[in-house]
Structure 1
Amino acid sequence: MTKPVVVGVDGSPSSLDAVETASGEARIRGAELRLVHAFGRSSAHLPAGGPPWSPAGTGVRELIDGTLAVAERRARDAAPHVAVTRDVTLGDPLAVLEIASRTASLVVVGSRGLGAVGGLLLGSTSVHLAAHSHCPVLVVRGRPHPAGPLVLAVDESPVSGHAARFAFTEAHLRGVGLTLLHVCRPGDPEAYDGPADPPFVTYDEALLRTKAEHVLDTVLAGRAERYPDVTVTRRTVVGRVRHSVVEASAGAQLLVVGARGHGGFTGPLLGSVSQAALHHAHCPVAVVRHRSSAPEADGPPPDRTGTATGEPRP
């Protein structure tokens, strides 16, 4: 059975955009959509008349029901045939969504929240969630290009294997092309052409690009045959990694990046490239966490149950 797609709802315009995106993700997966509203404890976030620990207090239930009703209408307008459930939970939004991610195929959130009842995304919350989720997290931001490809940022670490599995599956489900991007850093010691230190070092660009092609070959190994319907474009760039990844997101439907997150809520946040993508990308960003020494083996491509616009595939 396909795990549900979870979306965080707080009533803000950003979270409603996330609901619409999550509806499309649930549709193409043939999954249930779960609307999650985390009811915070702070009395500053509650209407007068109800205790901060009780969502049944005066005016609070009506407020929650109204917020979720609007979100459910948005979801049904975007994907009429997707099953939608509501989940109102008392607790910290980060902890609630982290727990929900344990049984989800994808968690979708907006890039900004109101910080009101159940406010989800304020400051670095989206970064923190992406770093601790048990499944991929899709942060809805920027302006996705409907006809653009998915872009996967690739490096030589095991993280790329996990991110690649998600990216190929997502491209297959959406029926779009996939661009594999590897950024070659001039400061790579293997490419030094002399004893000088950066920024005065000269480097062998041909060596950098040869190394980049090897990295892309590793990510592609076996996947081109497993996903024959996904058109792959290889792209190598020499330059600054964060800037190049953000720049590549322009004109894309989705940017996929890997991350070395740590369990619990005491570990460090995401790496600088993932954080830069979440804060500055021109399109939505999916962050895929790395939890083991090697990615799980790719299974057979899932059936495509719909397109990004909700029309059934022939």
Structure 2
Amino acid sequence: MNVMELPVVVGVDGSESALRALDRAAEEAALRDTELRVVYASLWERYEGAALADDLGGTPAEPVLARDIVESAARRARQRHPGLRVTADTVPEEPEYALVRESRNASLLVTGSRGRSGLSEALLGSVSLTVAGHAHCPVLVVRGEPAVRPHGRIVVGVGAESAEALRFAADEARRRGAVLEAVRAWKAPAQGSPSPAALAGESARHRAERAARELDEAVESALKELADIPGLPDAVPGAEVRRRTVEGPARTVLVDVAEGADLVVVGAKRRPRSFGLQLGRVTHRVLHHAPCPVVVVPERG
């Protein structure tokens, strides 16, 4: 199946965070003119199953709750986006494993930042963190408070491994008619180096110029590749692109620049033979502290 035809998948669990994720996922599916798949994952069937149902003389509370949640979510999505194709399913599996598996056949996977635990959203929940670190498709984690209206600005971090992230961000900006702000961080020479102050200043200037040059090359390459992809709607407007280089650690720069953005997009290198959490320091920091929704895009190669 062409990636343009793959569904947008959203994980729900009845929490307020998942409700915001559902709304964003429905919006993304409508923008892509594709199906929305709503998934509730739980281990109730493995640990309770038919035996408990027999003991209780009926259906256990957990599957009833799961069915109510997914059916309610599907109704909400259809009401907000009439004509949207919506499917809903409950899966007897740990949420993180179920969603990573779902990501194999999805164009985008959407999660909230927290589940029903009621804990503070200052840091990301374990399910969203695991999914972002292992999913096979881009993962949108809905962070921050819901915006009253869009700001019309999408931020993407540009580094050594960000080609897929750039393409995703440019495509998203085009679909929304938003400004794409491509940001590359760079570091000045350490203070107190043995080189004279003048030479240190020149080195910093050269580093800034190199960062700007690499940023331009990466953006132009991504836009060219995006323009060559068949099947993109002709009605999608071209995105205004702003290029920005900022001195400082990338993990801090991106969190700061994301203030007031609708979305911040970062790439994450996938290591096929590694089973650990596949998130670098920059992506990890942005997921935990960004003031807006975050998309983590797998970078392969």
What residue is the counterpart of 1:19 in the other structure?
22
Matched with 2:281 is 272
Distance (whole Å) between structure 2 residues aligned to residue 136 and residue 271 of structure 1: 16
The alignment yields a C-alpha RMSD, in angstroms, of: 2.8
2:164 counterpart (162, 165, 181): 162
Correspondence for 1:137 = 139
Q: Paired residue for 2:178? A: 176
Q: 2:156 aligns with which of 144, 152, 155?
A: 152
Give TM-score scaled by structure 1 length: 0.79
Q: CA deviation at 1:59?
A: 2.5
What is the distance in 2 between the residues matched to 1:72 and 1:4?
A: 14
Compared CA separation, residues 9 and 187, structure 1 to 2 (3 A): farther
Equivalent AA in structure 2 for residue 242 of structure 1: R
CA contact (8 A) 2:182 2:219 kept: no
Q: Which amino acid aligns with 2:204?
A: E
- SS at structure 1 position matched to 2:18: helix
The whole-number CA distance in structure 1 between the counterparts of 2:97 and 2:131 is 9
Deviation of the 1:214 alpha carbon = 1.6
**Residues 264/21 of structure 1: CA separation in 2 closer, same or farther (3 Å cut):** farther
Query: Which residue pairs with 1:241 in the alignment?
Result: 250
Among 83, 86, 106, the alignment partner of 2:85 is 83
User: Does structure 1 conserve the Cα–Cα contact (< 8 Å) formed by 2:154 and 2:179?
Assistant: yes
Gaps in structure 1 of 5+ consecutive residues: 293-314
Note if contact 2:38-2:70 (Cα within 8 Å) is conserved in structure 1. Answer: yes
Deviations 1:237-288 (A, max 9, x none): 1112211110111111100000113347722331111111111101000000
Identity among equivalent pairs (%): 39
- 1:129 maps to amino acid: V
Contact 2:262 2:293 in 1 (8 A): yes
Contact 1:50 1:59 in 2 (8 A): no
Q: C-alpha deviations, 1:131-190, integer Å up to 9, x for none?
A: 1100000000014561231000011x1x211111111111111111100001112258xx
Quick check: 1:288 aligned with 2:297?
yes
Report the CA distance between 1:58 and its aligned residue. Answer: 2.5
SS in 2 for 1:150: strand
- Relative to structure 1, the CA distance from residue 193 to residue 58 in structure 2 (aligned partners, 3 Å threshold; closer, same or farther) is closer
Evaluate the alpha carbon distance shift between residue 264 and residue 115 of structure 1 in structure 2; reply closer, same or farther with a 3 A threshold: farther
Partner Cα distance (1:61, 1:93) in 2: 15
Secondary structure of residue in 1 paired with 2:144? coil
Whichever residue aligns with residue 111 of structure 1, its letter is: S
- Residues 154 and 262, structure 2, Cα contact 8 Å, conserved in 1: yes
The aligned counterpart of 1:7 is: 10
Choose which of 259, 276, 279 in structure 1 pairs with 2:268.
Answer: 259
State how 1:45-60 maps to structure 2 within 5 Å.
Answer: 50=52, 57-60=59-62
Q: Report whether the alignment pairs 1:73 with 2:75.
A: yes
Number of residues paired by the alignment?
Answer: 273
- Counterpart of 2:178 in structure 1: which amino acid? V
Q: Which moved more, 1:101-110 or 1:241-250?
A: 241-250
Structure 2, unpaired ranges of 5+: 228-236
TM-score (norm 2): 0.82
